[in-house]
Structure 1
Amino acid sequence: MQSPRRVRDLGVVVGTLPTGPLNAITDVPGVRVGQTTITGDGLNTGVTAIVPDGWAQTLPAAVAVGNGYGKLIGTTQVDELGVIETPILLTGTLSTFRVADALITWLLDRDPKATSLNPIVGETNDGHLSDIRRRPITPQHVHAALDTASDLLEEGCVGAGTGTCALGFKAGIGTASRTTPSGQTVGVLVQANFSGLLTVLGRPVPAQPIDADGNSCMIVVATDLPLDARQLGRLARRAIFAMARVGSDYAPGSGDYAIAFTTARTPDFPDRDLRAPFQAVTESVEEALLNSLTMAHTTTGHQGRTAHAVPHDLIVQRAL
């Protein structure tokens, strides 16, 4: 038996930029994460909430779509206006709409004058390990994730990653961050649930493929760099590109999305200086995806199906 460990704790170092103090999306000042996990009786699912300070006054944002076979509620308004006006929530596919409705209730309770809200809710299909048709998410699960958001977050089989699988192994939630030479931070959180051949620092790790229902990945990118919506779109696209570094095959039945936002309200960043932010998001996504695997544990779920955790010694061997 092995205990979940972050890939960096296994001696595998991705890239060259320094990490933030927690090596997490919450290294970006004002960004917090809360999660609700549901397990047992054929269920392995949950909710993950990314809650940035200042969301009620809108924050610059952009969405990028790799494969569009998925659900990401609220994208058209983000594309049109270049901002988010709510926290960002992740869950299982058939619970997406219940989560969005519960988020609306939470928002209305905080703004008695609101008449229009644009909830941002994404998903991946956790039906391999969870009885997805039961749609077990309640408003209480959603509100608990939002109300308990903090700087510290768990990885692996928690929240929206409780029942997900990736690259032939049990996966889940992963996170990482990088500090740019200018002193700002890029942090990411991933909900990993996609196919391909696991690759560690450029070397493939053979695995017995899991015949899972649905293959997708949700990536949330946060930063305090003063980027505008167009530049955030460029950052989001690099996040999807980074999936290839761990072996994604971008299968046709996959929904691969990235949403990027900044906590800086006044855009003032020259395009010529985007090289470091691009590197930061690429390295962060690669490491977060690896963390989503090495922090997961073997899980048996719906109809007795089992997804095995990646053996850590395989990761270390391929990194040498």
Structure 2
Amino acid sequence: MQTPRRVRELGITIGTLPTGPLNAITDVPGVRVGQTTISSGDLHTGVTAIVPASFADGLPAAVAVGNGYGKLVGSTQVDELGVIETPILLTGTLSVFRVADALLTWLLDLNPRATSLNPIVGETNDGHLSDIRSRPITASHVHAALDSASSELPAEGCVGAGTGTTALGFKAGIGTASRTVDSGTIGVLVQANFSGTLTVRGTEIPAPPLDADGNSCMIVVATDLPLDARQLGRVARRAVFAMSRVGSDYAPGSGDYAIAFSTRAEGAIVEKDLRPVFQATMESTEEALLNSLTMATTTTGFEGRTAHAVAHSRLTGTARLT
């Protein structure tokens, strides 16, 4: 057994931009994360909640679809209006509608006058390791994730919505990272569950194939930079592009989505100044995806299936010391 470690703890540096203090999505001021984990026997699933401050006032946002084989509840209204008005929740595929309903209850309790709300819930298919048909997520799991949300470093690996996910032939899960630019921060959180050949700084690290090809990746990008919805769409697309850096094959059965939002609704960045923002997004996404793997642990789940964590020793040759 190996101790879960983030890629920087293994001596692997991704990109050139500085990280935030936690190297996490919670480095963006006002962004909190809460998670509920179910891990027992045939069940390996959960909920991850990304909760920005002032979400009820509406925050600029956009969705990018790399491959639309998925269920991102609420995405069409985000496309239409360019705002989110709720937290963003992630879970397993067949639980997504129960999570959306529970999120709606939580929101109605917050605002007794509300008559129209657009809950945002994404998913990946964790059925390789979890009895997905049992749909074990309840309202109490969802509310616990929301109520426990904090600005601390989120747990990574086999937690929350990543408890039962696999990626690139290995056990994966939740990962996060951040970058700072002159005027603000970009933070990313991923739920990794997709196929391909793991690639770390250009070096391929093949794994025996799992009977779980595709099955999706959800990427949430947060920033305190004053970006409008159109610019956030450009940012979200860069997050999907970054999946290729770690070896995604963008399988036809994989639903690959990124949703980007800004905690600042005022001000503007001119287009020529977006270059470092795009770089920060791609570096953060790449590192978050790698963290989702190196922080995961070997898991045996539904019907005795096992997904093995990538051996950290196999990454040694990819390291660049800081």
TM-score range relative to shorter protein: over 0.9
After TM superposition, give the deviation of residue 213 of structure 1 in Å: 6.0
Is residue 124–residue 214 contact of structure 1 (8 Å, CA) maintained in 2? no
Is residue 213–residue 251 contact of structure 2 (8 Å, CA) maintained in 1? no
Q: Residues 231-310 of structure 1 correspond to what in structure 2 (within 5 A)? A: 231-310=231-310
Once the two structures are superposed, residues 144-167 of structure 1 have per-residue CA deviations (whole angstroms, 9 ceiling, x without a partner) of 000000012100000000000000
- Report the number of matched residues: 319
Is residue 166–residue 195 contact of structure 1 (8 Å, CA) maintained in 2? yes
SS in 2 for 1:175: strand
Say whether 1:179 aligns with 2:180: yes
After TM superposition, give the deviation of residue 41 of structure 1 in Å: 2.7
Cα distance in 2, alignment partners of residues 297 and 251 from structure 1: 24
Say whether 1:77 aligns with 2:77: yes
SS in 1 for 2:34: strand
Identity over aligned residues, as a percent? Answer: 77
After TM superposition, give the deviation of residue 121 of structure 1 in Å: 0.1
Listed as ranges, the gaps of 5+ residues in structure 2 are none
Say whether 1:6 aligns with 2:6: yes
Is residue 195–residue 213 contact of structure 2 (8 Å, CA) maintained in 1? no
Q: Residues 129-278 of structure 1 correspond to what in structure 2 (within 5 A)? A: 129-152=129-152, 153-180=154-181, 182-212=182-212, 214-278=214-278
After TM superposition, give the deviation of residue 312 of structure 1 in Å: 0.2
Once the two structures are superposed, residues 256-309 of structure 1 have per-residue CA deviations (whole angstroms, 9 ceiling, x without a partner) of 000000001114110000000000000000000000000000000000000000
Corresponding residue of 2:26: 26
Once the two structures are superposed, residues 66-96 of structure 1 have per-residue CA deviations (whole angstroms, 9 ceiling, x without a partner) of 0000000001100010000000000000000
Cα distance in 2, alignment partners of residues 120 and 213 from structure 1: 25
Cα distance in 1, alignment partners of residues 80 and 316 from structure 2: 44
Single out whichever of 224-233 and 259-268 deviates more from structure 2. 259-268
User: What is the root-mean-square deviation of aligned Cα atoms in Å?
Assistant: 0.8
What amino acid is aligned across from residue 82 of structure 2 in structure 1? G
What amino acid is aligned across from residue 309 of structure 2 in structure 1? A
After TM superposition, give the deviation of residue 127 of structure 1 in Å: 0.0
What amino acid is aligned across from residue 47 of structure 1 in structure 2? V
What amino acid is aligned across from residue 280 of structure 2 in structure 1? A
What amino acid is aligned across from residue 177 of structure 2 in structure 1? A
What amino acid is aligned across from residue 185 of structure 1 in structure 2? T
After TM superposition, give the deviation of residue 215 of structure 1 in Å: 2.0
Once the two structures are superposed, residues 31-51 of structure 1 have per-residue CA deviations (whole angstroms, 9 ceiling, x without a partner) of 000000001130000000000
After TM superposition, give the deviation of residue 211 of structure 1 in Å: 1.2
Listed as ranges, the gaps of 5+ residues in structure 1 are none
Going from structure 1 to structure 2, the CA distance change for 1:59 and 1:233 (only over 3 Å counts) comes to same
Cα distance in 1, alignment partners of residues 168 and 233 from structure 2: 26
Is residue 214–residue 252 contact of structure 2 (8 Å, CA) maintained in 1? no
